[in-house]
Structure 1
Amino acid sequence: MAKLHDLFTQARRARSSSGMGFLGKSRAESKAHAAAIVVEFPTVSSGSAEAALKAGADGLLFQWDGKDSAALSALKQEVDAARSYQEDIVLGLHLAGNGESLNGEAITSIKEQGFNYITLPLNAPAHLLAQESKDVEKVVILPVQNIMSPLRSGDVSPYFTIRNLSGLDGIAAILLDFDIEKPFGSLSIEDILHYNTVRGSVQHPAFIRVGGRLNENDTRTLKALNVQGVVLEADKSLETTQEQVKALRALLEKLHEEKGDSSSPFSLQR
């Protein structure tokens, strides 16, 4: 499948508008941008998925508690709406808890509902990584701030632990949960150095969470963070979400134009 690889690489490619006839699907023109934009929905309302895609999102991430099968089935309506707008859209499922209730049957159900990948915390059952990756890809969440704090104090043990992630099979990407109070644009050189110690230890493509009010200084700092995708949490207001996606898309398009070559820090690691 390698859907996540497609998500990352297609974001960096320009795409012309096209149509497929009277009954076919048209595709809007798309400029290349420095990282794929994924919109995460804590809750879902009718039409929210399609609206995010029209605003410029490359992928969507929904939340599920990992247990309620009825709630999972209820997401199918938005999944179908998203695919009716863009057939090859990459869709993910962010799991609450540690996924201990998941088994092979649940993974199959997730696939049947139309999802391409799931997110897993570090304390998730290891057997989930052994589930066939061709069915549903796995994204492991790294709590970056919890790792960086010991590094600042001289404790390098978290670095060696995280580095071993590269030796595990079944991981398609990582999600860097960079929980900091200050915006990216105000990070210091020291902050970036500590961050890159963590990032450089894991040879997987990476997402990072971003806020809805990024400016040019923030996106320029993102250049140093070596990520392939950004995750933006949807606002309660659909209109605000669309505005934030459009603004973020414009900044990432500009960043890609400024760099203009394959040696960008956003280039894929694998």
Structure 2
Amino acid sequence: MHPILLLPHPALQPYIHQYAFMSVGVPGQWSAFGMVPPGCTSLSIVMHGRNVCLKPGDKPVRKFSSVSFAGQATQFWNVGIDDQYQVFFVVFKPCGAYQLLGIGQHSCLNETFDLSDILGRKAIAFQHQLEDSPTLETTRSIVEQFLLQCLCRQKDTAIVRQFDDIRKKIQRQSQEPRLIKKICKDEGVSKSTLVRQLKEIIGMGPKQFQRIARFNSLLLHIKQQATRRHWTEIAHQFGYYDQAHFIREFKLFYGKIPSAYSAGDELLTNIAQ
């Protein structure tokens, strides 16, 4: 899986990390890909209006329409897919889907939905436009028109901006111990308010989000190293002072223990980096 990465319209860049276009799956047969929790959500548009069948982990096979929304994930998923598809992804920033689509994120946790189930007729009209799109550039144009219309109705209040700033602090300082307590003190918010607001805006509480942000920072660090250091050193650098805890966390988010890690692992969530 080698994605083509594209920047969104400048007006959308505060809310969208990037677009990605790629082939997913194997022609004419079931295959599987891994998904590490990326700490963000995404919109998937299957080219030419094709429906797609997915089997996430041990869950039953589900059929999705050509436009679907994936919420935040809290664990590694091995996802089966029934054929090969050309897919255009909108990779939101952690608060972006809430701001642009107006969707409360906690109800989307570890779930994927047809966009029409969330947005109704507006999404159906959007999907019909995309079905007639013959090229990547046309698809990108239709998607951007839709999202720019959403921008006019965005949930970009002072409260959302405050908690988006908090989210950025959590990502920047994800390896710091007792970070959430410090943020509550610095920002003058109670822990219960922080938990409630972040669940609504990004889909999960601050501690869960910090764990996922820290793990993704660790993975990025590993990929950037020409020579990998010992796992114990890496774990300590990222604030895992208990080796057993680090191994459990690695297996939860990556699906393998650290010693089984390979830089060649096929992960769909690489598009979020």
TM surpasses 0.5: no
Give me the TM-score of the superposition, normalised by structure 1.
0.31
Give me the TM-score of the superposition, normalised by structure 2.
0.31
Q: Which structure shows the bigger proportion of residues in helix conformation? A: 2
